[in-house]
A and B are shown apart, each in its own frame.
Chain A
Amino acid sequence: EAGVTQFPSHSVIEKGQTVTLRCDPISGHDNLYWYRRVMGKEIKFLLHFVKESKQDESGMPNNRFLAERTGGTYSTLKVQPAELEDSGVYFCASSLGTGGLNTEAFFGQGTRLTVV
């Protein structure tokens, strides 16, 4: 069974440009999460989808970030326009449920975004 897949694995863009990150969750997982780790700091929650609906987007830093999950399958996270402080590693995770004792969130390997 394929795990959570993210691409690209690395992206280097100039300040002011647009970048779109993609996440393919594990098949059948209705719950999809985006997290971000800025260099040397903690991994922070960005948002949570249940199928195609945004359940919680309280962690989105500002309106330059737009997340979508059309059809409830893969998700994209667009940053437009990118700023230097957006650099970091963006993780995607998916889970079958949201909190049961046997539920686990599976993480992708992340996309390392560098804004120069």
Chain B
Amino acid sequence: AQSVTQLGSHVSVSEGALVLLRCNYSSSVPPYLFWYVQYPNQGLQLLLKYTSAATLVKGINGFEAEFKKSETSFHLTKPSAHMSDAAEYFCAVSDPNTGFQKLVFGTGTRLLVSP
């Protein structure tokens, strides 16, 4: 069975600081991995995805994530936080055989950005 662990339900950073949101996964097969973001009063939006191509994945809004098989991690980073990055972020995993059919999500991390 697949599972996702997101360390820290809340992460606080100052504007301009590095953003690091942690995600570790468990999967019996090489997984697909995703990061989604939910801004207030909006739906989940795909930030980026790893589908067994390049291990460093670049997404929208300056975010990127690196797949590290040895650490079973897929941490999300952004060099410089903006106030507009304040949102809730979800890491998700799926079996490539099922793709988007059955995403397994973590519990989410709320990013707070202070001026």
**A positions within 8 Å CB-CB of B:** 3-4, 31, 33, 35, 40-45, 48, 55-56, 58-59, 91, 93, 95, 97-101, 103-110
A56-B102 in contact (CB<8A): yes
Q: How large is the interface on B (under 10, 10 to 19, 20 to 34, 35 or more residues)?
A: 20 to 34
**B positions within 8 Å CB-CB of A:** 4, 9, 32, 36, 41-46, 49, 51, 53, 90, 92, 94, 96-108
**Other CB < 8 Å A-B pairs besides A31-B100, A35-B105, A99-B97, 4 of them?**
A99-B32, A99-B96, A99-B98, A104-B100
Contacts of A58 in B (CB 8 A): 102
Known A42-B4, A43-B90; judge A91-B44 contact (CB<8 A). Answer: yes
Among the interface residues B105, B106, B108, which one has the most CB atoms of the partner chain A within 10 A? B105
CA A33 to CA B42, docked complex, whole Å: 17
Min CB gap A113→B, angstroms: 16
Contact partner of B107 among A40, A48, A106, CB < 8 A?
A40
Min CB gap A102→B, angstroms: 10
A107-B107 in contact (CB<8A): no
